[in-house]
Structure 1
Amino acid sequence: MQDKLTLMIPGPTPVPETVLLALGRHPIGHRSADFQKIVKRTTEQLQWLHQTSNDVLVLTGSGTAAMEAGIINFLSKGDKVLCGDNGKFGERWVKVAQAYGLDVQVIKAEWGQPLDPEAFRAALEADTAKAIKAVILTHSETSTGVINDLETIARHVRAHGTALTIADCVTSLGATNVPMDAWGLDVVGSGSQKGYMMPPGLAFVAVSDKAWEAYKHADLPKFYLDLGKYRKSAKADSNPFTPAINLYFALEASLEIMQKEGLEAIFSRHARHRAAAQAGMKAIGLPLYAAEGHGSPAITAVAPEGIDAEALRKAVKDRFDILLAGGQDHLKGKVFRIGHLGFVCDRDVLTAVAAIEATLQGLGLHKGTTGAGVAAAAAALSQ
């Protein structure tokens, strides 16, 4: 059916009608008093979402722009950094750090496994010379559906005393608890097309006072992504360059929706959807890819044994107009991923589980009791 496609991927995510309507407003001048009011309001809303009194800066760009900005603004060429790598996006941060001439020590875990906080603790405690300037990691590893223990790792970084915690929270911000101040995070990057319930186009970087001290001495090249420019403009409720004005309209609308729901309710909803997706897949007989107990509340990765995951995704889309995400790199054809972050409700998750189960039945690949997946998901949603 035309225009019926449902996004159940980890980004872009579905967008509420209120937010879509806000996008359709006529643009206003980005140096006008009206726009300054929107910047002031959204800055306050972003601080609420990040649970911080620190600067939260808005860039026109993707989540990768946020993370690159988070690296180049606070480090210098040759600085030693620890970089966690347990998936596609952990790999990306290693590549970005290396591209800027940083001395990268990789702390690795197998795809599907969480990063080991003890490995970070050991490396940081061994650094008696305080040569490590930053620990860079992904909180919710989108490629594998694994949530890393950012809170514990950040605690070890604080004990080190010198290093910064630079966290990719692109698929965790707005889906699970990321209390920046309480955890002592220094740089938090995220993007609009995930838990923010918006189209792609805005990137967000939250910065601690400790990181701003490091900024004074950082020498990596930057211009458009120079966060000092954004900080200066933000103090005047403005932006150093021409911003995506209509996306600011959408940002204000989406954050108002989130504030009405409340942080605890948002986090509870995402945890419930994770539980339902996981229960549904297990009941159908499809193994989860992420290690038990380490699944992200934003996305569930499934590794169907003896089934071409790409063929299954195509069949679900063709039959039910539901788009699931595929596996990346060596996981292509081996894994499919169910996105359940942002503007997703119980009905969406239950429908996705039912569609997967019905598709398997249609292909003659259903191994369990008919309806078991839907029943398990429904039971999880009712708890």
Structure 2
Amino acid sequence: MQDKQLLTLPGPTPVPARVLQAMGKHPIGHRSGDYSKIQEEVTEHLNWLHQTEHNVQALTVSGTGAMEAGIINFLQKGDRVLVGCNGKFGDRWAEVAEAYDLNVEKIEAEWGKPLDPSEFQAKLEADSEKQIKAVIVTHSETSTGVLNDLESINKAVKNHGEALIIVDAVTSIGATSVPIDEWGLDVVASGSQKGYMIPPGLGFVAVSPKAWEAYKTANLPRYYLDLGKYRKSTEKNSTPFTPPINLVFGLLEALRMMREEGRDNIFTRHQRLTQATRAAAKALGLTTFAPDGNASNAVTAVMPSTVEAEQIRSTMNKKFNIALAGGQNHLKGKIFRIGHLGFISERDTLTVIAALEATLKELGYSNFTPGSGVNAAAEVFAN
């Protein structure tokens, strides 16, 4: 049956009908009063979601563009930065920083393992001359399903006093609580095709007053990604460049849906989906890649042993029209990833687990009792 695909990826994620309908409206002028009203409401909702009193900036970019903007607007050429690398996206931010001639020091962990906050603490405490200007951390490492201990790493940064903390929250905003003002996070970037429940094309950057002070002396090249331009326009309920108007229509409707559900309810729902998915995988005799204490609320990475990950993905897609994500880099073919981010419900998760059981059976995998995965997930949802 056509048009029945279920996206269970860490992005793009399913888009609600209300959002699709909103995006189907005829576009309006982005310099009109009507658009300004939309921009004003969007900004208010974004600030609510990010738990900040300071305006969140919206850019027409992907999550990578938002992170690049977050890095280049607040640093100077040659600045010493610490970058946490325990997956594909941590590695990417190191590459971005190196591309702008920053002095990059990596704090690494094996893929599938969380970053060790004590390693950041040791580096920062040893920096008596305050040469470290930023710490760049991926909160939810999408490539492995690991949630890094942002709160503890941030405490070490705050004790340092000088360094900024720059956070990739691309798959944690909208799935996990990221209390920006309470923790004093300086730069937090995210992307629209994740927890926001809309298609790709918009990136978001939250900026602290401390980071805006650093902006004044930053000298890395920027123009389209110059956040100062966005700040001035956002204050006037406008944009510095042409926005994707219909995507903004969708964003507004998605944010309204999130307000209706409630921020804490959103976080609780994602946590339950994560617990159910992990419990089901274990009940099926499969290995969850990330440790229980550091599991992302956005995606669960699973490492099968006696059946190939790509066979599972292919069969799930062809037979049940369910899209799972594969492994990246050296994990390609070794893991598959089940997304439970954004517009995903308990029913969706139960559907995926049931289809996974049928897929495993078809591929000759028998290290489980039929129905055990669904039952494990249902037990989580019953509590």
Look up the SS of the partner of 2:41 in the other structure.
helix
Q: What's the counterpart of residue 247 of structure 2?
A: 247
Q: Quote the residue 1:12 is aligned against.
A: 12
Aligned position for 2:39: 39
Spell out, residue by residue over 1:260-300, the C-alpha distance to the aligned partner (whole angstroms, 9 max, x if none).
00011000000000000000000000001112321101100
SS in 2 for 1:185: coil
Alignment partners' CA distance in 1, 2:187 and 2:34 = 29
Note if contact 1:139-1:149 (Cα within 8 Å) is conserved in structure 2.
yes
Aligned twin of 2:206: 206
Structure 2 equivalent of residue 331 of structure 1: 331
Cα distance in 2 for partners of 1:311, 1:29 equals 48
What one-letter code is carried by the residue in structure 2 that aligns with 1:8?
A: T
Structure 1 length normalisation: TM-score?
A: 0.99
The DSSP-based 3-state class of the residue aligned with 1:7 is strand
The unaligned stretches of length 5 or more in structure 1 are none
Q: Which amino acid aligns with 1:253?
A: E
Equivalent residue, structure 1, for 2:282: 282
Residue 293 of structure 2 is aligned to residue 293 of structure 1? yes
Query: Secondary structure of 1:55's match?
Result: coil
Note if contact 2:107-2:120 (Cα within 8 Å) is conserved in structure 1.
yes
The residue matched to 1:297 in structure 2 has which SS? coil
Aligned to 2:159, the other structure's residue is in SS state: helix
Aligned equivalents of 1:205, 1:277: Cα separation in 2: 30
The offset of 1:381, in angstroms, is: 1.4
Matches within 5 A, 1:91-240: 91-240=91-240
Report the alpha carbon displacement of residue 74 of structure 1 after superposing the two structures with TM. Answer: 0.2
Deviation at 1:370, TM superposition (A): 1.1
d(CA) in 1 for partners of 2:298 and 2:102?
31
Separation in 2, partners of 1:112, 1:185 = 25
Letter in 2 for 1:172: S
Q: What is aligned with 2:357? A: 357
Measured after TM superposition, the shift of residue 364 of structure 1 is 1.4
Tell me, yes or no, if the aligned pair for 1:57 and 1:231 is still in contact at 8 Å: yes
Correspondence for 2:83: 83
1:330 alignment partner AA: H
Number of residues of Structure 1 aligned to a counterpart in Structure 2: 383
Q: Is the 8 A contact 1:55 1:208 kept in 2?
A: no
1:235: Cα distance to partner? 1.1
Give, in angstroms, the shift of residue 16 of structure 1.
Answer: 0.4
Letter in 1 for 2:327: G
Write the mapping of 1:48-63 to structure 2, written as runs, cut at 5 A: 48-63=48-63
- Alpha-carbon offset, residue 375 of structure 1: 0.5
Aligned amino acid, residue 173 of structure 2: L
Partner SS state of residue 137, structure 2 = strand
**Counterpart AA for 1:380:** V
2:381 counterpart residue number: 381
1:51 is displaced (CA, Å) by 0.3
Q: What CA distance in whole angstroms lies between the structure 1 residues aligned with 2:297 and 2:234? A: 32
> How far did 1:55 drift?
2.3
Residues 78 and 102 of structure 1 are in contact (CA less than 8 Å); yes or no, is this contact kept in structure 2?
A: yes
- The alignment yields a C-alpha RMSD, in angstroms, of 0.6
Compare 289-298 and 228-237 and name the one that shifted more: 289-298
Q: Deviations along 1:17-67, whole A, 9 cap, x unmatched?
A: 000001001000000000000111100000000000112000001000000
Counterpart code for 1:302:
V
Aligned position for 2:263: 263
**1:369 — aligned with what?**
369
SS in 2 for 1:90: helix
Structure 2 unmatched runs, 5+: none
Contact 1:195 1:341 in 2 (8 A): yes
TM-score by length of 2: 0.99
Paired letter, 2:118: E
Query: Displaced runs of 4+ in structure 1, greater than 4 A?
Result: none
Determine the C-alpha separation between the residues in 2 that align with 1:228 and 1:124: 29
Q: How does 1:340-355 map to 2 (within 5 A)?
A: 340-355=340-355
Letter in 2 for 1:209: P
**Contact 2:306–2:365, Cα closer than 8 Å, also in 1:** no
Equivalent position SS for 1:293: helix
Structure 2 distance, partners of 1:58, 1:354, is 38
Checking the alignment, whether the CA contact within 8 Å between 1:67 and 1:189 is kept in structure 2 is yes
Q: Aligned equivalents of 2:127 and 2:210: distance in 1?
A: 19
Q: Which amino acid aligns with 1:45?
A: H
1:305 aligns with 2:305: yes
